[in-house]
Structure 1
Amino acid sequence: MALLFPEETNAGYARIAVERGFDRYPDGLTYVVPEELGDLVTGERVLVPLGRGGTPTPGYVIDRSDSPGSQDAERLKWILRRDGSAHGLPPELMSLALWVARYYQAPLGLTVSAMLPSAVRRGVGAVKRRLIDLAETPEHSGSITAKQRSVLDAIEALPSDQRPVELNRLKQLSGVRTTGPVDRLLRDGLLVEHRRTEIEAEWRTPSPGELTPDTPTSLQQGVIDAIGAELGNGFSTHLLHGVTGAGKTEVYIRLIERVLAQGGMALVLVPEIALTPQTGARLIGRFPDHRVAVLHSGLTAAQRHQQWAMAAAGEADIVLGARSAVFA
């Protein structure tokens, strides 16, 4: 209906990189942003109508503006909705995607898509959780059933740090078998509901490797100090040359320690996925109080989605993976 009524209130305009391989619009296509999507941000994944038939097509928000620019506003199509089934691209990576697309003369939409693992784009392993809590200002004054009272008593008995509580756990605590009593309390305003999307995947943490490091040799310490002195001075590159077993990995780990101590994050890239288990075990063993995300093609789709989301959310202190992990 939005296409028939272009005078409808909108929240501005957005350039969208659609997941299609055409080069005619290297800077993306401009769409109208509906008022209910006024909080869209760069990198979010949306569905937009494409072509004469208006085929719903996924795309990514490049940027927002209050003006359609040189486009005729009355001829522009409207964004259909968010694509809530999948993650978008972290905003800070969109500028990188623009550079990559221009440098390699590649379609922008497909460039962005290639930066996201297939499992992330398909939302593999994502589940929606219903979290229930007491309403701050309950307005219901009528009678309640015994089962509803059991639900209220169960949630009131929980410490504040255990609320809101997941719906199934609340059912277990209150002894009710169905969601009916909870849904009725929600309708009556005695409870409130929050929804959260989580990614479930069976994950086996690699066995910790060597926990107690050897004292660095004088040569290793010299390298650590030389590179460590540059860590706070912006971008720099260093080539560490040594034969197998010379102690290069220990130098990397010592430098990672310094980065983490400064509040930073570390990305460790390995040349092949066969090296990730031993490297991951060693990192986990040396950094037991930090979160290590592991990314490589040997993971299941759900595992890859889970680990990528942890890195993208900034919840991982160390990211380990093959080449594609550079986009996490």
Structure 2
Amino acid sequence: MKYVDLVIDNNSRHTDDLFTYATEEDLKTGQIVQVPFSNGNKVRNACVFATDVVPDPSIKRFKRVGSVDPDISLNEEMVSTITWMRQRYGIKYLDGLRAFIPNGKPAKAGKEKEPYKDVTGETQHIDALTVEQRAAVEEINGAIDACRGESFLIHGVTSSGKTEIYMRAIAKALSMGKTAIMLVPEIALTRQVIDRFIGRFGKSAIAVLHSKLTRRERFDEWMRVRRGEAKIVIGARIGVFAPLENIGVIIMDEEHESTYKSDQTPKYDTVDIATKRLMYYDGVLILGSATPSVVSYERAKEGIYKLIELKHRYNETPMPHISLVDMREELKHGNRTIFSDELYRAIKDNLGDGRQVILFINRRGYSTFISCRDCGEAMKCPECGISLVYHKSENMAVCHYCGKSFVVPDVCPSCGSRNIKYFGVGTEKVEEFTQKMFPEKVVDRLDLDTAKNNREITRILNGFSKGKTDILIGTQLVAKGLDFKNVGLVGVISADVSLNIPDYRSTERTFQLVTQVAGRAGRGNDPGQVIVQSYTPDNFALQAAAHYDYEGFFKTEIMTRNFMGYPPFTDLIVVEFTATEEAIAIDTASRCRDYLISAGLPEAEKIFEPVLSSNFKGQDSFRYHIMIKCPKGERNKYIYYIRFFGEQLITRKIKCNYTIDVNPYSAF
């Protein structure tokens, strides 16, 4: 009789452990089996995490493994990554396991659906590289060839030819019998990337993994990868969990984007997962961005990443000129509309010259909040406690946290007044105003409300790329790597939206958004024009963005981070406690803080008092969190003690759940 340790598919911290079972078969690590579990011996799926286990002699009888899944299995690298994730992020075994294993069923024979089956591929092979590109390719491909396991940060201006470098790195990996993962921050970008990659590598070599696929599509793509039929995986952040073996290179395009950090269970940072997986295969990590994250650039300065600079556009087109418009002056001159006079005239001139326009505002919906003018009460989600956003197209108030919609009341529920007003500007209002100002032009909108599936994303992007749409209005989706040839003007409706977010990264996000959205202009032979509207145009991040001065921005920002004790000089750990009774949530958070301080952890004075979370009221629950500025190198120790405290909650049957989020991107 042999013994194996299993992780059981039972989503509870009570069972977040390895369970020993007996078997007569030669099972391998990563195989999926069925086993009887708990007192009722209910059949559960389980994953083999260890073989050749020496059983506990105090246990006289072990339950036995049942059937083995013939299709789904992981390898040792994937299992070790799950174990590492549990230690690094404080997640459950099952959370990591579900990230790797698809949730769905295989299609019947002959019924498989191929994502992007209508994509024929864009043939675009560039023979003549620039001097900068050639040097980058030689250095990166040399590392792949020698299996040196190095990490590269490509800091390249927009349209500098980073994608060609990516494709040549992948080609090098494939030539050595290795595999590759190409990650993009938004699902909307996968279409353009797939088009170019199919043109270069062929359709059969590529699989697509992202959350907009149906469960069956994702399962079928997962199986193609696991069977070794696809050697390249393209996707959003979940693509990093693709069941590839012998990974030669993982590429993260627009590496600075917050979407690479998961704020849902399991809470992980994609770059960490990529780095861990590549260590097993001595593979190469490539991070690319025109505006690298402060953390990544500091790592490059420290020598953790090798820095590659691409300072010139591929076709030598000048960078677009960025103008900052002071909206305070517009108010002084009586202009209270969405468009400044300068932006309105620029839109009119560009449309008159046959060029297209992109208008950017990082707020979807029509109005950003609904309020009673008499008592001042703002309408909030009863489930989450978050201010509701008015969506005029649906005539509903929507919670952008949980997604629930509510009918807007005719009278204020607090004071009975009918004086209910809508405040703020979102993409819907900009679209309505733009259509009113330019009624003869075709206006479209790209945000999470319109980009609900692949078909709609494709329709919107194709309409704009083919010139059928004159003006495209969007959120940060339009700022991320999209390539359009006829855009003469980009207008940023309000740079203050991202600048005023209560988050230590707000200036970094603003610099990145302005620089990235500016890169959508001037991609043909014309340098293009960018107009940024703001009530604080003297802010250092906006001034640096207007002059494309990343180095100047970085020097100011890194000094502030160091002084304030923010990443990359610390790890921010947020531990959130959720309970049906508010007193239990806050009391548990307080006791956790007291316990961590008493444990003698380094710099315990930087464990802050419990605070009501911004999404303070979930469904029949209350949320409080503590924030820790954890010293560099002490992260695992803090996670260990937090998990130990969490185990005591289970032992003492305290009805309070907790989650751990390391370096979160969402504001608390």
Indicate how the Cα distance of structure 1 residues 13 and 199 shifts in structure 2: closer, same or farther if over 3 A, else same. farther
**Residue type at the aligned position of 2:3:** Y
Partners of 1:19 and 1:110 within 8 A in 2: no
State the partner residue of 1:252: 166
1:228 to 141, 146, 154: 141
What does 1:286-305 align with in structure 2 at a 5 Å threshold?
Answer: 286-288=200-202, 291-305=205-219
Q: Offset of 1:296 from its aligned partner?
A: 1.2
Indicate how the Cα distance of structure 1 residues 199 and 27 shifts in structure 2: closer, same or farther if over 3 A, else same. farther
Indicate how the Cα distance of structure 1 residues 42 and 241 shifts in structure 2: closer, same or farther if over 3 A, else same. same
Q: Offset of 1:269 from its aligned partner?
A: 0.7
Does 1:201 find its partner at 2:113? yes
Partners of 2:233 and 2:239 within 8 A in 1: yes
Partners of 1:43 and 1:89 within 8 A in 2: yes
Indicate how the Cα distance of structure 1 residues 286 and 68 shifts in structure 2: closer, same or farther if over 3 A, else same. same
1:185-206 alpha-carbon deviations (Å, 9 max, x no partner): xxxxxxxxxxxxx983345152
Give the match's secondary structure for 1:320: strand
Q: Offset of 1:300 from its aligned partner?
A: 2.3
Give the match's secondary structure for 2:233: strand
Partners of 1:19 and 1:113 within 8 A in 2: no
State the partner residue of 1:28: 18
Does 1:103 find its partner at 2:88? yes
Q: Offset of 1:214 from its aligned partner?
A: 4.3
**Residue type at the aligned position of 2:138:** D
State the partner residue of 1:117: 102
Q: Offset of 1:265 from its aligned partner?
A: 1.3
Does 1:42 find its partner at 2:29? yes
State the partner residue of 1:157: none
State the partner residue of 1:168: none
**Residue type at the aligned position of 2:29:** T
Does 1:65 find its partner at 2:52? yes
Partners of 1:58 and 1:83 within 8 A in 2: no
Indicate how the Cα distance of structure 1 residues 23 and 301 shifts in structure 2: closer, same or farther if over 3 A, else same. closer
What does 1:157-168 align with in structure 2 at a 5 Å threshold?
Answer: none
- For residues 202 and 256 of structure 1, the distance between their equivalents in structure 2, rounded to whole angstroms, comes to 22
What does 1:79-158 align with in structure 2 at a 5 Å threshold?
Answer: 79-83=65-69, 87-119=72-104, 123-125=105-107
Give the match's secondary structure for 1:215: coil
1:166-225 alpha-carbon deviations (Å, 9 max, x no partner): xxxxxxxxxxxxxxxxxxxxxxxxxxxxxxxx9833451522113432411111111111
Segment drifting more, 207-216 vs 239-248? 207-216
Between 1 and 2, higher relative CO (CA 8 Å, sep ≥ 6) is seen in 1
Structure 2: gaps spanning 5 or more residues: 243-668
Structure 1: gaps spanning 5 or more residues: 1-10, 128-197
Partners of 2:32 and 2:45 within 8 A in 1: yes
Alpha-carbon RMSD: 2.3
**Residue type at the aligned position of 1:285:** G
Q: Offset of 1:247 from its aligned partner?
A: 0.8
Q: Offset of 1:89 from its aligned partner?
A: 2.6
Count of residue correspondences: 240
- For residues 272 and 70 of structure 1, the distance between their equivalents in structure 2, rounded to whole angstroms, comes to 52
- For residues 215 and 305 of structure 1, the distance between their equivalents in structure 2, rounded to whole angstroms, comes to 40
State the partner residue of 1:54: 41
Partners of 2:208 and 2:235 within 8 A in 1: yes
1:135-165 alpha-carbon deviations (Å, 9 max, x no partner): xxxxxxxxxxxxxxxxxxxxxxxxxxxxxxx
State the partner residue of 1:77: 63
Q: Offset of 1:316 from its aligned partner?
A: 1.6
Partners of 1:16 and 1:62 within 8 A in 2: yes
Does 1:326 find its partner at 2:275? no
Q: Offset of 1:70 from its aligned partner?
A: 4.3
Q: Offset of 1:31 from its aligned partner?
A: 0.9
- For residues 327 and 24 of structure 1, the distance between their equivalents in structure 2, rounded to whole angstroms, comes to 26
Q: Offset of 1:61 from its aligned partner?
A: 0.9
- For residues 115 and 71 of structure 1, the distance between their equivalents in structure 2, rounded to whole angstroms, comes to 34
Indicate how the Cα distance of structure 1 residues 257 and 25 shifts in structure 2: closer, same or farther if over 3 A, else same. same
Q: Offset of 1:252 from its aligned partner?
A: 0.8
Q: Offset of 1:248 from its aligned partner?
A: 0.7
State the partner residue of 2:176: 262
1:257-316 alpha-carbon deviations (Å, 9 max, x no partner): 222222221111111111111101111111138611111122222221111112122222
- For residues 120 and 203 of structure 2, the distance between their equivalents in structure 1, rounded to whole angstroms, comes to 15
**Residue type at the aligned position of 1:108:** Y
1:217-243 alpha-carbon deviations (Å, 9 max, x no partner): 111111111222211232111111122
Q: Offset of 1:39 from its aligned partner?
A: 3.3
Q: Offset of 1:102 from its aligned partner?
A: 2.2
Runs of 4+ off more than 6 Å: none
1:316 to 216, 230, 243: 230
Partners of 1:60 and 1:109 within 8 A in 2: no
Indicate how the Cα distance of structure 1 residues 217 and 245 shifts in structure 2: closer, same or farther if over 3 A, else same. same
- For residues 213 and 112 of structure 1, the distance between their equivalents in structure 2, rounded to whole angstroms, comes to 40
- For residues 95 and 65 of structure 2, the distance between their equivalents in structure 1, rounded to whole angstroms, comes to 19
